């Protein structure tokens, strides 16, 4: 019988000892070791976190060969895909290759295709070969294996949509689920990074929640994106401003909300130094949800203090109850969004 590991995977931590796998510098990615409470998958694709992929791509000057080498290097050094600059990872899709006997009661069998819903920054990963890099959608097709711990969450891939489509949506599943949970009917909601995957899904859920008396406003940097976003029907208004310029965002955002501050802002940007653009337009006692992994929570905390903003700030936890099903249902409900994902992210 295989040995039982720690529920949270600490048996795989190499250094420093005493921390969880996400905080560890290096973890054990030896796939020949089999534990009774682990699942091992043959990985098909990695969806690298947007902030992480953007940083890697810029560091490599957009060169695909160098991007592949950098990813291989990170995994070889750390035993996981955790960007040393952003600290973030992503998620994978793969086929179940091994289920430990302690997890035999799960609704899962060898051969099932699943998407991991925990970050690659804490997932033991071994890459044998990179098959393809899809720069426009932050995806890397590989030959390799990954481990899910007993505490790890995952979703079986649905039968009614393609694997790449499901992967694209599940990659950001935490965001639309929070956009459903956080606003109330009649609220005003500001979404930064409005044109990205998480942005449009958040817009759709927020529009449903705030109803006809609410106001959901998207922020984009490129004016050419406005018409297409309005055609999607996931925002009441779309404004043009750079999220790295908080004064510009504040002025345009207030103008789009009858001069009033917002009840909620959601940051879905993939670049740094956008914290104050999410904080400034929000009223006292309002909420700021930082889904973006490019967020500096030091900048957010000190920045809010510095401008005297008493706002509730939520760390971008990628997990919310039922988030996988909520997100896949968005694509089932909204044909325009599903077509957009099929064209842009598959």
Query: In the predicted model, is pLDDT for residue 110 greater than 90?
Result: yes
135 and 249 share one domain:
no
**267 occurs within a structural domain:** yes
**Pairing mode, strands 113-116 and 90-99:** antiparallel
Query: Is 164 contained in some domain?
Result: no
Last residue of a domain, one of 131, 157, 183: 157
Residue 235 near residue 207, CB atoms below 8 Å: yes
For residues 222 and 321, membership in a common domain is answered with yes
For residues 55 and 90, state if they share a domain: yes
Q: Name the band, by pLDDT with cuts 50, 70 and 90, for residue 168.
A: confident
Distance between CA 25 and CA 40 in Å, rounded?
21
Contacts of 172 (CB under 8 A, 6+ apart): 197, 198, 201, 291, 327
Please check whether residue 17 lies inside any domain of the structure: yes
Q: What confidence score (pLDDT) does residue 261 get?
A: 98
9-24 pLDDT tens trace: 999 999 999 999 999 9
What integer pLDDT is reported at residue 235 of this predicted model? 98
Lowest mean pLDDT among 74-83, 168-177, 214-223, 228-237: 168-177
Q: Which of 157, 185, 215 is the last residue of a domain?
A: 157
**Residue 166 forms part of a structural domain:** no
> Into how many domains does the chain fold?
2
pLDDT digits (tens, 9 = 90+) for 132-167: 999 999 999 999 999 999 999 999 999 999 988 998
pLDDT band for position 1 (50/70/90)? confident
For position 163, what pLDDT does the model report?
87
Q: Is the Cβ–Cβ distance between 122 and 80 less than 8 Å?
A: yes
Q: What DSSP letter does each residue of 198-230 carry, written as one string?
A: HHHHHHHHHHHHH-TT-EEEEEES-GGGHHHHH
Q: Are residues 229 and 134 in the same domain?
A: no
Clarify whether residues 246 and 290 are in a common domain.
yes
Question: How confident is the model at residue 171, as a pLDDT?
Answer: 84
Residue 272 included in any domain: yes
If asked whether residues 331 and 239 sit together in one domain, one would say: yes
Q: Is the pLDDT of residue 270 over 90?
A: no
Residue 4 within any structural domain of the chain: no
Give buried/exposed letters for 146-179 (b at 16+ CB in 10 A, else e). Answer: bbbbbebebbebbeebeebbbbbbbbbbbbbbbb
> Is there a domain that residue 92 lies in?
yes
Structural domain that includes position 267: 174-344
First to last CA, the chain: 41
Output DSSP code: residue 3: B
| Residue 270 belongs to some domain of the structure | yes
Same-domain check for residues 118 and 226: no
pTM, 2 dp: 0.84
Q: Are residues 16 and 141 in the same domain?
A: yes
Same structural domain, 63 and 102: yes
Residue 17 CB neighbours (<10 A): 8
Residues 189 and 133 in one domain: no
The CATH number covering residue 209 comes to: 3.40.50.720
């Amino acid at each position: 019988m295989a040995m039982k590991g720690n529920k949270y995977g600490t048996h795989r931590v190499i250094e420093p000892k005493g921390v969880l796998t996400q905080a560890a510098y290096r973890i054990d990615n030896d796939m020949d070791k089999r534990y009774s409470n682990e699942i091992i998958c043959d990985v098909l694709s990695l969806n690298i976190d947007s902030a992480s992929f953007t940083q890697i791509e810029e560091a490599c000057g957009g060169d695909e060969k160098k991007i592949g080498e950098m990813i291989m290097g990170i995994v070889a050094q750390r035993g996981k895909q955790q960007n040393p600059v952003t600290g973030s990872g992503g998620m994978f899709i793969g086929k179940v290759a091994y289920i430990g006997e302690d997890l035999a009661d799960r609704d899962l069998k060898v051969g099932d295709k699943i998407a991991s819903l925990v970050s690659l920054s804490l997932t033991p990963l071994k890459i044998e070969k990179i098959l393809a890099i899809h720069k426009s959608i932050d995806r890397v097709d590989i030959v390799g294996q990954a481990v899910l711990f007993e505490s790890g969450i995952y979703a079986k891939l649905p039968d009614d949509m393609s694997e790449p489509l499901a992967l694209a949506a599940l990659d950001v599943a935490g965001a639309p689920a929070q956009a459903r949970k956080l606003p109330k009917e009649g609220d005003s909601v500001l979404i930064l990074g409005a044109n990205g995957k998480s942005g449009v899904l958040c817009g759709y859920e927020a529009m449903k929640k705030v109803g006809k008396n609410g106001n959901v406003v998207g922020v984009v940097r490129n004016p050419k994106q406005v018409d297409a976003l309005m055609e999607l029907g996931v925002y009441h208004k779309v404004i043009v401003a750079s999220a790295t310029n908080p004064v510009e965002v504040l002025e345009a955002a207030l103008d789009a909300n009858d001069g009033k501050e917002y009840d909620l802002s959601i940051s879905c940007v993939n670049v740094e130094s956008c914290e104050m653009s999410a904080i400034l337009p929000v009223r006292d006692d309002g909420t700021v949800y930082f889904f973006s992994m490019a967020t500096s929570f030091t900048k957010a905390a000190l920045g809010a203090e510095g401008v005297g903003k008493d706002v509730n700030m939520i760390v971008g936890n990628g997990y919310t109850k039922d988030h996988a099903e909520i997100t896949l249902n968005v694509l089932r409900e909204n044909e325009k969004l599903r077509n957009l994902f099929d064209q842009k992210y598959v």
